[in-house]
Structure 1
Amino acid sequence: MENPGRQTAVHALVDELATGCERPFSDARAMPPGVYTSADFLSLEEHAIFAKEWQCVGRASALRTPGDYLTASIAAQPIVVVRDEKMELRAMSNVCLHRMSVLLEGRGNIRRIICPYHAWNYGLDGALKGAPLMDQQAGFCKESYKLPTIRCEEWQGWIYVTLDQNAAPVRQQLAQLSELVDAYGMTNYVETFYEEHVWDTNWKILAENFMESYHLPMLHRATVGPHSRLEEMECPPGYPAFNYHWITKEASLPIGNAHPENSRLTGHWRKTTALLAIYPTHLVTLTPGYFWYLVLQPQGVGKVHIRFGGGLAPEFISDPEANAHMVTLKTLLDEVNAEDKRGVEAVFRGVHAPLAKPGHLSHLERPNYDFARYLASKLAAR
Structure 2
Amino acid sequence: MNVHSPVTTPADELRANVSVPFEAAKAMPRSVYASPDFLALELEHIFAKEWICAGRTDALKNPGDYLTMEIAGEPIIVLRDRDGALRAMSNVCRHRMSTLLEGRGNTRAIVCPYHAWTYNLDGSLRGAPAMGQNESFCKTEVKLPAVRCEEWLGFIMVTLDPDTPPPSETLAEAEAMIAHLDLASYSETFRENHVWDTNWKVLAENFMESYHLPVCHRETIGGSTDIDEMVCPEGTEAFNWHTILRNDAVPLALAHPSDTRLTGDQRRTTWLFAIYPSLMISITPGYFWYLSLHPEGPGKVRILFGGGMSAPYMADPQAPAQLATVKAMLDHVNAEDRGCTERVYRGLLSRLADPGALSHLERPNFEFAQYVSRKVNGAG
Which TM-score bucket, shorter chain as reference?
over 0.9
Contact 1:10/1:41 (CA < 8 Å) preserved in 2? Answer: no
Partner of 1:12: 9
**1:203 Cα shift?**
0.5
Determine if the alignment matches structure 1 residue 116 to structure 2 residue 135: no
**1:137 Cα shift?**
1.9
Distance of 2:339 and 2:332 partners within structure 1? 11
Contact 1:10/1:40 (CA < 8 Å) preserved in 2? Answer: no
Partner of 1:5: none
Amino acid at match of 1:137: N
Partner of 2:225: 228
**1:228 Cα shift?**
2.3
Distance of 2:114 and 2:202 partners within structure 1? 38
**1:197 Cα shift?**
0.6
Call closer, same or farther: CA 1:126–1:262 in 2, change over 3 Å: same
Determine if the alignment matches structure 1 residue 48 to structure 2 residue 45: yes
Determine if the alignment matches structure 1 residue 355 to structure 2 residue 367: no
Contact 1:232/1:249 (CA < 8 Å) preserved in 2? Answer: no
Determine if the alignment matches structure 1 residue 270 to structure 2 residue 267: yes
Partner of 2:201: 204
Amino acid at match of 2:106: N
Distance of 1:253 and 1:349 partners within structure 2? 32
Distance of 2:132 and 2:167 partners within structure 1? 42
**1:263 Cα shift?**
3.2
Partner of 2:332: 335
Structure 1: 5+ residue stretches without partners: 1-7
Contact 1:90/1:152 (CA < 8 Å) preserved in 2? Answer: yes
Amino acid at match of 1:216: L
Partner of 1:23: 20
Distance of 2:6 and 2:94 partners within structure 1? 38
Distance of 2:286 and 2:369 partners within structure 1? 31
Distance of 2:165 and 2:17 partners within structure 1? 29
Partner of 1:177: 174
170, 188, 196: which one aligns with 1:191: 188
RMSD of the alignment, in Å? 1.4
Call closer, same or farther: CA 1:285–1:251 in 2, change over 3 Å: farther
Q: Deviations over 1:316-335 (max 9, x none)?
A: 00001101111001111111
**1:236 Cα shift?**
0.6
**1:305 Cα shift?**
0.7
**1:169 Cα shift?**
1.3
Q: Deviations over 1:231-286 (max 9, x none)?
A: 12111111110001000122323321111222332221111000110000100110
Partner of 1:99: 96
**1:11 Cα shift?**
6.3
Partner of 1:3: none
Contact 1:112/1:123 (CA < 8 Å) preserved in 2? Answer: yes
Contact 2:225/2:247 (CA < 8 Å) preserved in 1? Answer: no
Deviates more, 1:132-141 or 1:342-351: 132-141
Call closer, same or farther: CA 1:9–1:242 in 2, change over 3 Å: farther
Distance of 1:373 and 1:131 partners within structure 2? 49
**1:22 Cα shift?**
1.4
Partner of 1:324: 321
Call closer, same or farther: CA 1:9–1:255 in 2, change over 3 Å: farther
Map of 1:31-46 to 2, 5 A cutoff?
31-46=28-43
**1:136 Cα shift?**
2.7
Distance of 2:321 and 2:192 partners within structure 1? 19
Q: Deviations over 1:10-66 (max 9, x none)?
A: 962212111111111111110000000000000000111111111111101210000
Partner of 1:309: 306
SS at match of 1:69: strand
Distance of 1:360 and 1:370 partners within structure 2? 14
Distance of 2:174 and 2:314 partners within structure 1? 25
Determine if the alignment matches structure 1 residue 127 to structure 2 residue 124: yes
Amino acid at match of 2:56: R
**1:170 Cα shift?**
1.2
Determine if the alignment matches structure 1 residue 145 to structure 2 residue 113: no
Q: Deviations over 1:153-212 (max 9, x none)?
A: 111011111111111111001011011111110000000011101011110001101111
Determine if the alignment matches structure 1 residue 62 to structure 2 residue 82: no
76, 81, 96: which one aligns with 1:79: 76
| TM-score, normalised by the number of residues in structure 1 | 0.96
SS at match of 1:81: strand
Partner of 2:378: 381
Amino acid at match of 1:199: W
SS at match of 2:132: helix
Structure 2: 5+ residue stretches without partners: none
Equivalenced residues, count:
375
Determine if the alignment matches structure 1 residue 364 to structure 2 residue 343: no
Contact 2:188/2:307 (CA < 8 Å) preserved in 1? Answer: yes
Q: Deviations over 1:284-342 (max 9, x none)?
A: 11000100010011111111111001000000000011011110011111111111111
| TM-score, normalised by the number of residues in structure 2 | 0.96
SS at match of 2:76: strand
Distance of 2:377 and 2:15 partners within structure 1? 8
